Amino acid sequence: MTLRPSSHAFWLSLALSGAGLLAQGAPAAVPGSFADNPIVYFLMTDRFVNGDPSNDGSYGRKREALPKDDVATFHGGDLKGVTQKLKEGWFKQLGVNAIWITAPYEQIHGWVQGGKAEFKHYAYHGYYALDYTVLDKNMGTPADLKEMIDTAHAQGIRVLFDIVMNHPGYLDLQTAQDLKVDVLFSGVEKATLRSYHNYIDYNSFKFADWWGRDWVRAGLPGYIDGGRDDLTMQLAYLPDFRTESKEAVKLPKFLKEKADTRAVDLPGTTVRGYLIHWLTDWVRTYGVDGFRCDTVKHVEPEAWAQLKAEGVKALAEWKAANPASKIDDAPFWMVGEYWGVGPALHKMHSFGFDAMINFDFQNDEGEFAKPEKLFASYAKLQAGMPVHMLNYLSSHDTKLFDRARLVEGGAALLLAPGGVQIFYGDETARPVGYEPRTDYQQGTRSDMNWSAPDAKVLAHWRKLGTFRSRHLALAKGVHKQLGSSPYTFSRTDAATGDSVVVAMGAKGEATIPVTGVFKDGESLRDAYTGRTATVAGGAVKLQAETYVLLERAN
């Protein structure tokens, strides 16, 4: 993933020229908070850009020679890589106003069996936490994190952490050795995918030296077994944090003895209290602007409400201490992943969530070619309230959208009411990676295709993304169909006076109706082509290139 000098020069020149093209003639953005129009770019840090190859082999992690074996190893992406793309203007050119990165805190060190013993599965995705208080060395240093967040903030871009309160990671062979948890048989260096579990003594009560029964359900000697309901079950056999417990706990033995941890005993604190303290400390220290919360349905709602309240306090404290580094005074923001939730207002909005990920959008792809029904229904659900749904086209947990339809799909996503989640590489047509037979989702997490982007798709997403970033009416305005051939609609936000008219499927000399939105004599700009036209007789005439994105020219 390290860029060759020639490749780096190409992307930098493209970024600079592209930024100039996008800025030329574009009107100022309509005032509005991030919560009014979130455009979130979700990147899997390890698969994005390798900014510092020196940290690639941290904790003895290794890559594999064959793609089928290497699919779930650490590939080298890090925080410096994200900073590099920020400095090149990558996110600004897409209209992005928030970056969601995978959890950067320390993960389990080694690998576990992936799929049905098909590949070595490392914690490159950030969902197998070990120590919530320090950065994973593969991600970089505290200085790298500070630079990344400060660089983002200087561009008006927020930073969101992916976080998990439901479970920590497994106790893998390497981590057990590193932590000196004496549950391994001799000869672990000979362990293979097939023989992995033969080297772990699952009858040993030494597992108590790990998290301990007061902290997690684990189905191990001395531990409580996982339950049968959403709140107490062990997802994928992972240890389940006892966040519902009202009992105070002490720091686990492994953390007390871990040389580099920042965790300390917090007398009278519950499991939930420790987790919230650890997570919000990143906010208080670095100015993290919000969280994307994983496995929301598997943690009691009250825990999320408490996390939000503490996050709000922590961010306010950081902003008070770092006034020159903040974007604005907007509060801490949270979006939740509650499996299967659609676009309607969800019960979890009463427990601290500003938005929920909308799983329905990707499944509605049959409506993307004729999106009026979809747009109208979403606009109705969104009417009169802050944006509460985050739509996505592709995801690391589901599938990548059809690579041949990313122009059509991108238009549906970036023009739909609600908030937007861009999955890294949808804007460049990143190819699907190797898909293991027993875990095909690994294929959604391939390395970013910096050396071979689809130029047509990228140009399209940039035009739509920057247009959206200027117009909160697209996210939460009143929707009205103005024409059927080409399909034309308006969105208007009465509170700010922001209005746009969009046509889809317009080609050549086109007449676009704007009655009720723009007045005769007004000068309009098509953000897709940069051409301008004057309203006459309730319409504008111009040369169209499939999509017409009309906004006031000044």
DSSP string over 224-280: BPP-SSTTTS-GGG--EE-TT--S--PPPHHHHH-TT------TT--HHHHHHHHHH
Q: What angle do CA 47, 50, 56 make, to 5 degrees?
A: 90
Q: Give yes or no for a contact between 46 and 77, defined as CB atoms under 8 angstroms apart.
A: yes
Match 């979890």 to its residue by tokens. 348
Q: Where are the beta strands (DSSP E) in 164-217?
A: 216-217
Single out the catalytic residue among 337, 354, 426, 498: 337
Distance of CA 12 to the CA centre of its chain: 24
As a whole number of angstroms, the distance between CA 514 and CA 520 comes to: 9
DSSP state of 2: P
As a whole number of angstroms, the distance between CA 444 and CA 455 comes to: 21
As a whole number of angstroms, the distance between CA 67 and CA 339 comes to: 30
As a whole number of angstroms, the distance between CA 285 and CA 315 comes to: 9
As a whole number of angstroms, the distance between CA 222 and CA 123 comes to: 26
Q: Which residues does residue 510 pair with via DSSP β-bridges, in sequence order?
A: 542
As a whole number of angstroms, the distance between CA 323 and CA 334 comes to: 22
Single out the catalytic residue among 52, 78, 240, 294: 294
Which residue type does 28 have? A
The contacts found for 189-198 with CB under 8 angstroms, 24 or more apart, are: 193/113, 193/117, 193/118, 193/119, 193/120, 194/117, 196/112, 196/113, 196/117, 197/113
Asked if 408 is an active-site residue, the reply is no
Asked if 435 is an active-site residue, the reply is no
DSSP string over 423-444: ETTTTTTPPP----TT-GGGGG
The contacts found for 492-499 with CB under 8 angstroms, 24 or more apart, are: 492/517, 493/30, 496/30, 496/31, 496/32, 496/472, 497/30, 498/30, 498/32, 498/471, 498/472, 498/473, 499/473, 499/552
Q: Give yes or no for a contact between 125 and 254, defined as CB atoms under 8 angstroms apart.
A: no
As a whole number of angstroms, the distance between CA 523 and CA 28 comes to: 15
Match 């400095």 to its residue by tokens. 87
As a whole number of angstroms, the distance between CA 352 and CA 374 comes to: 27
Sign of the alpha-carbon dihedral angle for 476, 478, 482, 483: positive
Which residue type does 440 have? Y
Q: For residue 366, is it left (φ>0), alpha (ψ between -120 and 50) or beta?
A: alpha
As a whole number of angstroms, the distance between CA 56 and CA 74 comes to: 8
Residues with a catalytic annotation lie at 294, 337
